[in-house]
Structure 1
Amino acid sequence: MTDTSAPGNPNPPQDPNGEKPAAPIMRVLGQYVKDLSFENPGHAPVQSQPNIDLGIDVGAAPHADGNGLYEVSLKLSAKALADGKVMFISELDYAGLFQLQNVAQEQLEPMLLIEAPRLLFPFARRIIAEITREGGFPPLLIDPVDFVALYQAQVRRANAAGTPTQQ
């Protein structure tokens, strides 16, 4: 007999009357900054509006403790260029520890690479805004991110390279 109540079990348990599976559960157990850097090589008045190069990457991996635990990492990078000079470079690796229960295998990857970063994003966005403001620039307010489109692009790249999408 298989224990279907184990966290992260791909075969979710049935409710007591056996009609429908139990609802998937995602718990955020913790959030933390894994890495943060801010470089300010060109803090000088500029005459033009800076161009911001923004990079976003999402990765997920099972946690060493198991039990349906996963670490999801949201990496944000921003580089401001004005008048041909680098004004600032900011990089943030913000992560969360998530516990998943009653999640079917086909739902696991979308939950980790869409829903989890969607929960982490507002906190990471705030950190980037604060670090750029503290660096002497107007706060960099990153627009909301479509994590579904980001996931779909990541799946296409992984399929083209023949690798799994979870990193």
Structure 2
Amino acid sequence: MADEGDVLTDLNMDPAATGNGADNQPVAGIISQYVKDLSVENPNAPACFQWQSAPNIDVQFNIAAEPVSEEVSEVELKIKLTAKADEGDLYLVELAYCGLIGMRNLPEEHAHAFLYAEAPRILFPFARRVIADATRDLGFQPMMIDPIDFNGLYLQQLQRRADEEAAAMGQAPAGEA
């Protein structure tokens, strides 16, 4: 049985599944999720509600992960949303939406993939709702950000890094010759 206060206790419903009671099964999950930071600006209200030009929308996001303890990490999904019209800025929304992620007995490559692909995929719909509510509360149509393929982006990042490392390895000997 897990110790009291073990944040991952509920993630493995049958700790005796290994036959000897050892807790060595790989497990990962969301412990908690929350808004860490939210900034909402409507710098040209009320004049902007009279503007006729179509807004240009820019959405940027970033993913970060920081260890909290041996088995818990905080994954932060940052989203920056700006809307500008010909007449000026309509709004700016910056959100840091986080989740506490519990992982036990996962190989490093699986843990990394969970932190940077799967956890953001799980957190995204909740962050999307916060953004939609914020833009609606600013007096505009709710901004429904299109779904993001975090797994595909994660694989692209891994490939890009592998290509960069291979290029660096290939260039180092040529520079020494």
Q: TM-score range, shorter-chain basis? A: 0.7 to 0.9
Instruction: Tell me the equivalent position of 1:147.
Output: 150
CA-CA distance at 1:96 after TM superposition: 0.6
Aligned equivalents of 1:119 and 1:68: distance in 2? 19
Q: Which residues in structure 2 correspond to 1:64-79 (within 5 Å)?
A: 66-79=69-82
Give the greater-gyration-radius structure (CA): 2
Structure 1 or 2: larger helix share?
Answer: 2
Deviations for 1:33-66, whole angstroms, at most 9, x for unmatched residues? 1110011112312212211100011111111xx2
Matched, 1:49 2:51: no
Match of 2:101? 98
Letter in 2 for 1:152: L
Deviation at 1:153, TM superposition (A): 4.3
TM-score by length of 2: 0.72
- For 2:93 and 2:30, locate their aligned partners in 1 and report how far apart those are by CA, in whole Å: 26
Q: Which deviates more, 148-157 or 122-131?
A: 148-157
- 1:89 shift after superposition: 0.4
User: Partner residue of 1:37?
Assistant: 39
* Alignment-mate amino acid for residue 141 of structure 1: M
Partner of 2:168: none
| Matched positions, count | 144
Contact 2:82 2:92 in 1 (8 A): yes
Q: Read off the aligned partner of 1:106 and give its amino acid letter.
A: E
Partner of 1:10: none
Structure 2 unaligned spans of 5+: 1-7, 9-16, 166-177
Q: How high is the sequence identity, in percent, across the aligned residues?
A: 43
Alpha-carbon distance between aligned partners in 2 of 1:84 and 1:149, rounded to the nearest angstrom = 37
- Following the alignment from structure 2 to structure 1, what is the Cα–Cα distance between the partners of residues 87 and 117? 35
Q: TM-score normalised to the size of structure 1? A: 0.76
More contact order relative to length (CA 8 Å, sep ≥ 6)? 1
Aligned-partner SS, 1:152 = helix
Structure 1 residues 35 and 156: CA distance shift in structure 2, 3 A: farther
Give runs of ≥4 in structure 1 deviating > 3 Å. Answer: 14-17, 152-161
Mapped contact 2:53–2:87 kept (Cα < 8 A): no
